[in-house]
A and B are shown apart, each in its own frame.
Chain A
Amino acid sequence: MKKIEFPLENDKQISRLKAGDEVEIYGTIYVARDAAHKKMIEAVLKKSPLPFPVRGGLIYYMGPTPAPPGKVLGSCGPTTSSRMDKNTIPLLKAGLKATMGKGDRSKDIEDACRKYGAIYLLTYGGCGAYLNRFVKKAECFAYCELGPEALYRLEVDGFPAIVGIDSNGKNLYNK
C-alpha cells in the first residue's frame, strides 16, 4: 500500500505509481462534479482565477449526501468520471495532478496523463457509506448554490484508491 499526500510536494510521489497500485490518500483534496466543472472551465477560458489552487492537487468526482448529525459529511462515493473527460484536460494543463472517480475514461485522458505527468485514481463505486470513515473534515467553499454539485474541500486520512491511469498513460482497464 503506497501513501500519497495532497497537495503534492513533488511530482515524484506520483511518477513512481503504476496502474493497478493500491494507494492511501492523505491531506487536502477537492470535490467537483458536472456543474462545478462547467463553471471552472468557463473561469479557465476567461483567464479568471480558479476558486482553489489546482497545482499539485486532486479533484474527486463526487456529490455527497448531506451530513447527518455527528458526521462531517454523508455518503461520499465516486461518480462516473468519463462525464468529466472533456472538462479535465484544461485543468491538468493548469497543474492539476490527480483526478479520482469510478469507471474507465477516454484515450484523451490517457494521453493527457502522460503529457502532464498526472494520474487518474479509481475508488469504490457505490461504497459511499464505507468511504465516509476516511473523511475527517468537509467544507463547501465555492459554488455553494449548486448544492450537491458545489465545490468541497476535504481533509482525508488514508482514503483508499487504485491507480486507474498512471503518469505513463497506462490504463488498468486496458490490460
Chain B
Amino acid sequence: MRKISYKRIIEEVSKMVVDTAYYLPKGVQRYIRKSYRIETGLSKKYLGIILENLKVSEKEKLPICQDTGLSVFFVEQGCDVIIDTGKYKNLEEIINEGLKRGSKKGFLRNSVVSPLERKNTGTNTPGVVHILSGKKGMFKISLLTKGFGAENTSRLAMLNPSAGKVGIEEFILKTIKEAGSLPCPPVFVGVGIGGTFEKAAILSKMALCKIGEKSVNRNWEKLILKKINSQLKIGPGGFGGRTTALDVRIETFPTHIAGLPVAVNISCWAHRFGTITL
C-alpha cells in the first residue's frame, strides 16, 4: 500500500500544466524539423516560423499557442495506491486544483465555458479527467493539451464490420481531407478502433498520447501516413506540400460482432503533452 498526498499531486500537475504550454516535447520538435527540411515555398516559411515560435516561447515564457487548450488527463492508478485527499472530494478535484493553479501561474488562457450559456468558468477548469486502473504501485498522470482548432475537425464513425481495413483507411483520409487547412497542419492523427461509441473516442485520444512510442500496428500506421501525405497534399498551414500529417498512431479494442467504431482525433502540429509519475 502506498499513499500519495494531494499536495504533491497539485504541485506536480500545476508544474506540468505550465511546462506543457511552453515547451513542445523534443520528439514532436524532431518531426517538425524533418518536415522543414523537405518542404519548399510558403510551407517551408511557415515551418521556419513555427521553429522560431518554439524558441521565443521557451525564452520569453509565452505559451506556444494562445489556445492553451482544454486539458485532458489520463490517470493510471494501481489498486494499491491510495490518495490522501485532504479537503478535496476526490482525485478529479485535486487534478483540477493543479490545473487551476498552473493556468494562473503560467498565464494560460481561460478557454473553458459552460456549453450552452457560454459563460467562462474563469479558472481554465474543469479539465477532462479519465481514471484508469494501472499496474501495481503505479501512479501516472498524462496530460494532453487539446486546442480546439484541431479538436473540432475530429470525427467518429460507426462503420459496418464489412468495411474492414479499407473502410477505416477511407474514413481516416476523408476526415483529414475535410479538415483541410483548419486544424493547423501538419497534424498528428490518433485513431481508435473498436469498443463502443465512447471507447473508440477515448482510444483515439490515448493514441495521441502515444505518438512516437512503439506500436504493434506500426506497419499499418506507416502505410496510412504515406497515403495521407501522398494523396492529400494539404501541407503545412494548408499551403500545399509533402507533410499533411507528421504521424499516425492506432489503438484498438475488441468490439461487437455487429459493429466497427472508428474515431479519428486530430492534433495540430503543436502537439502538447506531458507525463508525471509519482
Contact = CB atoms under 8 A, between A and B. Distances in A.
A159 B180 CA distance: 25
Interface of A: 20, 35, 62-68, 71, 74-77, 79-80, 82, 102-104, 122, 124-130, 132-133, 146-149, 160, 162, 172-173, 175
Given A66-B107, A124-B50, A148-B120, A80 B182 contact: yes
Contacts of A129: 53, 56-57, 60, 62-64
A103 B147 CA distance: 15
Interface residues of B, number: 39
Interface in B216-248: 237-240
Interface stretch (B4-12, B65-73, B192-200, B250-258): B65-73
B182 A128 contact: no
B184 A128 contact: no
Interface of B: 42, 46, 49-50, 52-53, 56-57, 60-68, 107-111, 118, 120, 122, 147, 149, 152, 180-182, 184, 237-240, 268-270
Contacts, number: 124
B149 A80 contact: yes
A75 B180 contact: no
A80 to B, nearest CB: 5
20 contacts: A35-B118, A62-B66, A63-B111, A64-B66, A65-B108, A66-B108, A68-B61, A68-B62, A68-B107, A74-B66, A75-B65, A77-B67, A79-B67, A102-B181, A128-B63, A128-B65, A129-B60, A129-B62, A147-B110, A175-B240
A67 B107 contact: yes
Contacts of B152: 80
Contacts of A148: 109-111, 120
A103 B64 CA distance: 18
B238 A104 contact: yes
Contact of A63 (B49, B57, B66): B66
Nearest to A160: B49
Nearest to A122: B237
A124 B270 CA distance: 12
